[in-house]
């Protein structure tokens, strides 16, 4: 009997030690709050230079932009959205003002709201115009519209906001707390690339960390961009395949020409009766709450703001359940909110680089619509 009791005691001690070790590793490898060490001034990047982000995690990539935003002057215009606007460039807006692309991963209205709250707090909102992209529901069954994806750096998220804003319920606070205090920190801490990068930075001096970021600026000739000739002076394709340009947009390897990056496949997803969708009639009020909350940020800072839904390339315009939810939202948008619904642009090949990535031609047309709205 004593032996069983003794073994039980050892087992409980083992579990306690394991739990404490697990917690210590979790705390050590949590997302770092020292993103300001990544000091790259996008303003100084030349036209024949890019910032390669190959090998960095999504949150590491956001650190580059946040460091720049914190340290340097705001631009006149800023676009906020997910990867669907990653090829939206400053050249399109030259006749309106300076432009920076804040696109990031798969953020939707929820995390765009937090992004803007943070920029408001540090007084780094765009000076004149905020553009907010909303993903068309048919792209991913509505997942990138209202989900809380855990995409942002935890250190810039203020989920306590939802405890004090009466337009949001306590449930909204719980959603944010679950994702940003439990789910995402756990996933981040025990990701193999995170463990490697955190251990490396833990044993490195700050100067070494800074050197790593500086080495990410790549210079090349236009012969390399156009792929006219192969040369040892040209950077490897993999280093420029994923890279930021000086305006925060993603670099196109072929000199920003109108090219289809992959064969342009029309989306033929069967979305009408699928068992799992990420948007329902219950989400209509929530979508509207976030649109209104984001609009308020602009208005209390005397800024113009335009919301727009980007299209995806489809064989037919699927009249899906998720699309119908967005129809109802658009129908009830207050007249005071400037809103562009471009879901109907699904059919034109020239508007797309990939089925869910609009081209420069589309963004130029969008810019013209924005100018007209601004004149009203």
**Burial of residue 147 (number of CB atoms within 10 Å: 0-12, 13-18, 19+):** buried
231: Cβ contacts below 8 Å, ≥ 6 apart:
223, 224
Residue-level pLDDT at 368:
93
Q: pLDDT tens digits, residue range 101-138?
A: 999 988 999 999 999 999 999 999 999 999 999 998 88
Residue-level pLDDT at 220:
65
Give the pLDDT mean for 189-205: 57
pLDDT, greater one: 116 or 191: 116
Residue-level pLDDT at 289:
94
Q: 77-80 and 129-135 as β-strands: parallel, antiparallel, unpaired?
A: parallel
Q: 243-244 and 49-52 as β-strands: parallel, antiparallel, unpaired?
A: antiparallel
Residue-level pLDDT at 319:
73
Q: pLDDT tens digits, residue range 270-316?
A: 544 444 457 778 889 999 999 999 999 999 999 999 999 999 887 66
**How far is it, in rounded angstroms, from Cα 291 to Cα 346?**
23
pLDDT, greater one: 250 or 76: 76
Q: Please check whether residue 307 is in contact with residue 351, taking contact to mean a CB–CB distance below 8 angstroms.
A: no
Residue-level pLDDT at 169:
86
Q: Using pLDDT thresholds of 50, 70 and 90, give the confidence band for residue 56.
A: confident
Q: Using pLDDT thresholds of 50, 70 and 90, give the confidence band for residue 256.
A: very low
pLDDT, greater one: 368 or 278: 368
Percent of residues, the chain, with pLDDT higher than 90: 30
Q: Residue 45 above 60 pLDDT?
A: yes
Residue 374 CB coordination number (10 Å): 13
**How far is it, in rounded angstroms, from Cα 75 to Cα 289?**
27
Q: Using pLDDT thresholds of 50, 70 and 90, give the confidence band for residue 197.
A: low
Give the pLDDT mean for 180-206: 63
Average pLDDT of the chain to the nearest whole number: 78
Q: Using pLDDT thresholds of 50, 70 and 90, give the confidence band for residue 15.
A: low
Give the pLDDT mean for 6-19: 62
Q: Give the highest mean pLDDT range of 13-22, 194-203, 227-236, 264-273.
A: 13-22
Q: Residue 36 above 60 pLDDT?
A: no
Residue ranges covered by each domain of the chain: 31-375
Q: Using pLDDT thresholds of 50, 70 and 90, give the confidence band for residue 200.
A: low
Residue-level pLDDT at 28:
53
CA atoms within 13 A on the CB side of 223: 6
For 156, phi then psi, to 5°, come to -105, 0
Q: Tokens for 269?
A: 């997803």
74: Cβ contacts below 8 Å, ≥ 6 apart:
124, 125, 126, 127
Q: pLDDT tens digits, residue range 80-94?
A: 999 999 999 999 999
**How far is it, in rounded angstroms, from Cα 328 to Cα 324?**
6
Q: Please check whether residue 302 is in contact with residue 128, taking contact to mean a CB–CB distance below 8 angstroms.
A: no
271 SS3 class: coil
Give DSSP secondary structure letters for 198-263. Answer: HHHHHTS-HHHHHHHHHTTEEE--HHHHHT-S--TTSPPHHHHHSEE-TTSSBPPTTTT-S--SS-
Percent of residues, the chain, with pLDDT higher than 70: 68
Handedness of CA 278, 280, 286, 288 (dihedral sign): positive
Q: Residue 341 above 80 pLDDT?
A: yes
Residue-level pLDDT at 275:
45
Q: Give 78's strand partners.
A: 100, 130
Which of 148, 145, 143 has its CA nearest to residue 181?
148
Question: Poorest-confidence range of 9-18, 70-79, 92-101, 169-178?
Answer: 9-18
């Amino acid at each position: 009997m004593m032996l069983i009791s003794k073994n039980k005691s050892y087992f409980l001690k083992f579990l306690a030690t394991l739990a404490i070790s697990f917690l210590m590793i979790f705390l050590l490898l949590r997302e770092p709050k020292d993103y300001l060490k990544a000091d790259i001034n996008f303003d100084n990047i030349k036209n024949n230079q890019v910032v390669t982000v190959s090998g960095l995690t999504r949150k590491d990539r956001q650190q580059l932009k946040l460091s720049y935003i914190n340290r340097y002057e705001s631009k006149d215009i800023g676009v906020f959205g997910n990867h669907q606007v990653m090829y939206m460039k400053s050249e399109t807006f030259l006749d309106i003002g300076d432009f920076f692309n804040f696109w990031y991963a798969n953020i939707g209205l929820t995390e765009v709201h937090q992004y803007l709250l943070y920029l408001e707090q540090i007084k780094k909102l765009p000076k004149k115009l905020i553009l907010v992209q909303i993903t068309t529901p048919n792209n991913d069954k509505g997942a990138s519209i209202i989900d809380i994806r855990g995409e942002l750096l935890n250190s810039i998220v203020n989920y306590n906001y939802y405890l004090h804003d009466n337009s949001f319920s306590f449930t909204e606070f719980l959603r944010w707390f679950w994702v940003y205090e439990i789910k995402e920190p756990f996933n981040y801490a025990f990701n193999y690339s995170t463990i490697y990068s955190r251990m490396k930075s833990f044993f490195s001096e700050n100067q070494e960390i800074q050197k790593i970021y500086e080495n990410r600026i790549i210079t090349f000739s236009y012969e390399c961009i156009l792929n006219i000739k192969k040369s040892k002076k040209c950077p490897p394709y993999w280093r420029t395949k994923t890279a930021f340009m000086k305006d925060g947009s993603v670099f196109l390897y072929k000199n920003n020409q109108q090219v289809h990056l992959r064969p342009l496949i029309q989306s033929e997803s069967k979305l009408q009766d699928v068992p799992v969708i990420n948007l329902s009639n219950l989400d209509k009020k929530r979508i509207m709450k976030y649109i209104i909350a984001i609009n308020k940020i602009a208005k209390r800072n005397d800024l113009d703001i335009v919301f727009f839904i980007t299209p995806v390339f489809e064989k037919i315009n699927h009249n899906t359940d998720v699309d119908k939810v967005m129809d109802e939202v658009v129908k009830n948008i207050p007249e005071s909110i400037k809103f562009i619904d471009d879901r109907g642009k699904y059919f034109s090949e020239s508007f797309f680089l990939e089925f869910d990535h609009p081209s420069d031609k589309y963004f130029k047309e969008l810019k013209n619509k924005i100018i007209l709205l601004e004149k009203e």
